[in-house]
């Protein structure tokens, strides 16, 4: 039997939250086993049917860098008109050209707050990444596409350690200044804690970027993701990235594990009386089905409790 938490709102929190589902992209990019494209298509369709308002579908990156997503064209072609509005990652103009050729309408660039990760993930320095992204955002906006920007390693970096808040704000502001509509702050290796989240959101506020322009992207390596969401809610952020069943990681970030599980996020939001529009039963059934394909159980506490 699927339960739901008792609803007890906390005063002062947002009334509604957008869950940005990243499982098909952030989750599957990190799977050892290659997942057949028809399974990916069914995953995306089931997530949309479960009520997730945004489902990030795949990445148009170099197939040698992320072989798990080498079937991006095939997946988006199979999804056809149903996939056109779903966001996809594009690091450079070559990636944008591939997305435009399919008529896609929503892309995301992904920058790094640290030098080491910029090199490892993009083969660029922090400064060089802006030159790579600038024509992507300009051309995408001119073609009427929506553009999200990610910034990774916002709370800590496996090679460089602590990442100063002002360094993250500088990179984030520059990515937004290129013309992105939203900035997703990535805790790529899951080291953030609640006070740090509040301080980073406040620092963006002091730089003129309000919580309405921010999203929070937590990985759950140290079990802090839900506490960090609570801190984000108290700071007024209304978009949270999560991956069905807690899939995920980043192939170019040692020690990155799964994203915050969407089911765990839905449980928290439901209990707080915050609207999200997601059918938890349908979502748990989807993650249980996918776990069967991947050959291992979901790490999500809510999927384990209800699945
Ligand atoms: P590069 O090797 O410097 O590329 O890689 P290049 O510009 O020098 O081009 C070399 C060759 O690659 C050329 O082909 C290009 O056409 C081709 P050649 O002329 O030699 O035959 N090429 C491409 N082919 C297909 N699609 C493309 C593309 N670009 C170039 N888009 C590059 C630079 C950015 C491409 C590479 O570093 C790359 O693909 N990186 C992606 C890494 C990645 O996907 N990481 C995971 C996503 S980020 C993440 O997970 C974090 C996040 O979740 C937030 C968080 O948790 O923090 C978002
Ligand atoms: Mg990530």
**Which atom of ligand 1 approaches the CA of 65 most closely?**
39
Entry pTM: 0.97
Phi and psi (nearest 5°) for 152? Answer: -95, 165
CA-nearest residue for atom 17, ligand 1, is 62
Topology of domain 19-306, CATH? TIM Barrel (3.20.20)
Q: Supply the residues annotated as catalytic.
A: 250
Q: With the C-alpha atoms ordered 292, 297, 298, 303, is the resulting torsion angle positive or negative?
A: positive
**Tell me: the pLDDT tens digits for 179-235?**
999 999 999 999 999 999 999 999 999 999 999 999 999 999 999 999 999 999 999
Q: Is 255's pLDDT higher than 70?
A: no
pLDDT at 2 over 70: no
Give the helix/strand (H/E) hosting 237.
none
H/E segment holding residue 269? helix 262-271
pLDDT given at position 122: 98
Q: How far, in Å, CA of 98 to CA of 67, rounded? A: 16
Read off the pLDDT of each residue in 243-270 and give the average, rounded to a whole number: 85
Contacts of 189 (CB under 8 A, 6+ apart): 153, 156, 157, 158, 219, 221, 253, 254, 255, 256
The Å distance, Cα 271 to ligand 1 centre, comes to 40
Exposed (0-12), middle (13-18) or buried (19+): which is 7, by Cβ within 10 Å?
exposed
How many Å apart are CA 177 and CA 253, to the nearest integer? Answer: 26
Q: Which atom of ligand 1 is nearest to the CA of 186?
A: 57
What percentage of the chain exceeds 70 in pLDDT? 97
- CA 95 vs CA 70, 76, 91, 120: distances in Å: 12, 14, 6, 18
The CA distance from 246 to 300, in Å, is 5
Those residues whose C-beta lies under 8 Å from the C-beta of residue 292, and which sit 6 or more positions away, are: none
User: Number of helices and strands (H, E) in the chain?
Assistant: 11, 9
- State if residue 217 touches ligand 1 by the CB under 6 angstroms criterion: yes
Alpha-carbon gap, residue 245 to 243, rounded angstroms: 6
Backbone angles phi, psi at 271, to 5 degrees: -60, -30
pLDDT value at residue 1: 46
């Amino acid at each position: 039997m699927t339960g739901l938490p008792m609803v007890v709102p906390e005063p002062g929190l947002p009334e509604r939250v957008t869950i940005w589902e990243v499982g098909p992209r952030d989750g599957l990019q990190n799977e050892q086993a290659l997942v057949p494209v028809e399974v990916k298509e069914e995953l995306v369709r089931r997530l949309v049917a479960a009520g997730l308002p945004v489902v990030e579908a795949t990445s148009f990156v170099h197939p040698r860098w992320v072989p798990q997503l080498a079937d991006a064209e095939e997946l988006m072609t199979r999804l056809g008109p149903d996939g056109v509005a779903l966001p996809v990652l594009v690091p450079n103009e070559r990636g944008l050209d591939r997305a435009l050729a399919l008529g896609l309408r929503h892309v995301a660039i992904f920058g790094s707050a640290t030098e080491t990760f910029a090199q490892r993930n993009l083969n660029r320095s922090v400064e060089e990444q802006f030159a790579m992204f600038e024509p992507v955002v300009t051309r995408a906006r001119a073609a009427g596409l929506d553009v999200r920007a990610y910034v990774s390693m916002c709370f800590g970096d496996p090679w460089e350690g602590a990442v100063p808040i002002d360094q993250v704000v500088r990179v984030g502001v520059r990515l937004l200044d290129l013309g992105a509509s939203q900035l997703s702050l990535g805790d790529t290796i899951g080291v953030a804690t609640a006070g740090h989240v509040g301080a980073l959101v406040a620092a963006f506020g002091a730089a003129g970027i309000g919580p309405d322009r921010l999203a929070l992207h937590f990985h759950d390596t140290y079990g802090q993701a839900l506490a960090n969401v609570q801190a984000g809610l108290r700071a007024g952020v209304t978009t949270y990235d999560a991956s069905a069943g807690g899939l995920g990681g980043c192939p170019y970030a040692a020690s990155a594990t799964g994203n915050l599980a969407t089911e765990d996020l839905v449980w928290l939001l439901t209990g707080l009386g915050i609207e999200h529009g997601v059918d938890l039963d349908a979502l748990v059934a989807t993650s249980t089905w996918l776990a069967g394909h991947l050959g291992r159980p979901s790490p999500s506490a809510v999927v384990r409790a209800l699945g």
